[in-house]
Structure 1
Amino acid sequence: MSTDAQQPHGSEQAAQDWKHWHEERTATVAGPYGPLSLTGTHWLSDHPEGRIPGVPGQWREDGDELVLSASAADGLTVDGEPFTGQVRLTADRGPIDESRVAHGERRLVVLSREGLWAVRDFDPDSPARRAFRAIEATPYDARWALPGTFRPYDSARTVRVENADGVERGLGLAGEIAFEADGTEHTLHVAVEPDGSLWAVFADATSGNSSYRFRFLRPAAPAEDGSVTVDLNRALLPPCAFADHFICPFPPPGNTLSVAVEAGERNRVDG
């Protein structure tokens, strides 16, 4: 690991910032509607009759909407009010706890991917949430906060990658970040988020061994000259590390680093 990477501010303050980030991240993951609470992603194509085992109501596709039918016995609420009859739904975009359909404390979230519809079931009383104890993470090390450069593509592109559920889906990419580690230049293909920040799905020499099989990285928006800090101390476990029902994309071609990234979040710890 190179020892001359420069941290954008004092390493002591950076270590405190990282500690605060890690504590907030753990609290978010462990929250009532964090990723640990997902107990199922139910694709309606698997339930053409509209009845999902364990999920109240009848759900059917109708063009670019879902139609939910329910009786009083189903015990559903829509927009916080007891619901009977029919309602047309679009994909939920906001926080999980603000999704339109609920069953007690459970939140039934409408999802759409590449023309297919699903209902996700988030339950604060999930076994995974009860078992969770911590996120194993390597303490902050300034050597892993690396100066990098963002190189946008001439035009955005989409690559097909396998997802955690075994289905291949499109992954949009807008450029790459280049940085040096262990004396070698590395690159990661990245997406650009609506706020300008970057998102990479990557693996490295620790993946599947001392770290989860792949991780996410979310660098801040690059400066006008393309400079960006590639802080691998903030490598994130993907949602599918916390629940099997997420459909996280695997790293695209070119995003498996030869270096061992012994930094950031490594694994979920259960008790």
Structure 2
Amino acid sequence: MKVKLFHILTLCTILSTLFASGQDFSSKKKYLAAIREERAEKDIEFATSDKSPIAPADRAAFSGLNYFKPNPSYKIIAKLEIYNNPDTIKMITTTDRRPFYLVFGEAQFKLKNTDYRLTIFRNIDLMVKPGYENYLFLPFTDLTSGAASYGGGRYVDLELKNDGMVEIDFNRAYNPYCVYNKKYSCPIPPEGNFLNTAIKAGEKNFVH
């Protein structure tokens, strides 16, 4: 009887593990499909929209953006330390424009078994606009900057929540608009937001 019970429990454990693995596979598949769909939609927008950063004269030759292959390991949950008395700074940009940003807090996370910290910002003008109440801005550079990705760094949009955590999805890292068109003025990531690792995720450098 005890042997039979043991076999039943073992079978239940195996089935439970297989079920969990199946759920993980399904979730990963949906996530990767969502990333690919977002990228396809962005290509269409850049090729056809009046709001595209691609100059009208260059749109006919535009064949799409370049990306690293989506990798779920670059989607991470970070601890968000919100500063009690945040400073307001004039963000350095690619032009002489100096927009005001709030130094909102610090994201603390582990990636490739290494601990990292990145400063999170909020655009003073943008944060008071409807729909942007929870918008956070993460500019960064890494070991791919200037090679596989744009030398001036990339951005990740974040959402403020009430649980003290923030999701950072580097698969959604994107280039500043000045990469495509020099008429744009783009924030330059601060030196402290350099990641001493290759973030092989998100958008690659744009070749004109």
Same-fold call, TM cutoff 0.5: yes
Q: Does 1:262 align with 2:200?
A: yes
Q: Match for 1:33 among 36, 48, 51?
A: 51
Counterpart of 1:191? Answer: 121
Q: Does 1:207 align with 2:160?
A: no
Structure 1: which 5+ residue stretches go unaligned? 1-6, 38-125
Offset of residue 243 of structure 1: 0.4
Counterpart of 1:17? Answer: 34
Structure 2: which 5+ residue stretches go unaligned? 1-23
Supply the distance in 2 between the matched residues of 1:244 and 1:141 (Cα, whole angstroms).
Answer: 31
Counterpart of 2:76? Answer: 146
Q: Match for 1:221 among 160, 164, 173?
A: 160
Counterpart of 2:4? Answer: none
Q: Does structure 2 conserve the Cα–Cα contact (< 8 Å) formed by 1:141 and 1:233?
A: yes
Counterpart of 1:232? Answer: 170
Instruction: Assess, with a 3 A threshold, how the Cα gap between structure 1 residues 178 and 28 changes in structure 2: closer, same or farther.
Output: farther
Give the TM-score normalised by structure 1.
0.59
Instruction: Assess, with a 3 A threshold, how the Cα gap between structure 1 residues 129 and 141 changes in structure 2: closer, same or farther.
Output: same
Instruction: Assess, with a 3 A threshold, how the Cα gap between structure 1 residues 177 and 168 changes in structure 2: closer, same or farther.
Output: same
Q: Match for 2:98 among 169, 188, 193?
A: 169
Q: Does 1:180 align with 2:90?
A: no
Q: Which amino acid aligns with 1:18?
A: I
SS at match of 1:218: strand
How many residues of Structure 1 are paired with residues of Structure 2 in the alignment? Answer: 173
Supply the distance in 1 between the matched residues of 2:88 and 2:191 (Cα, whole angstroms).
Answer: 12
Supply the distance in 2 between the matched residues of 1:253 and 1:161 (Cα, whole angstroms).
Answer: 12
Percent identity of equivalent pairs: 26
Supply the distance in 2 between the matched residues of 1:138 and 1:161 (Cα, whole angstroms).
Answer: 28
Supply the distance in 1 between the matched residues of 2:207 and 2:110 (Cα, whole angstroms).
Answer: 31
Offset of residue 244 of structure 1: 0.6
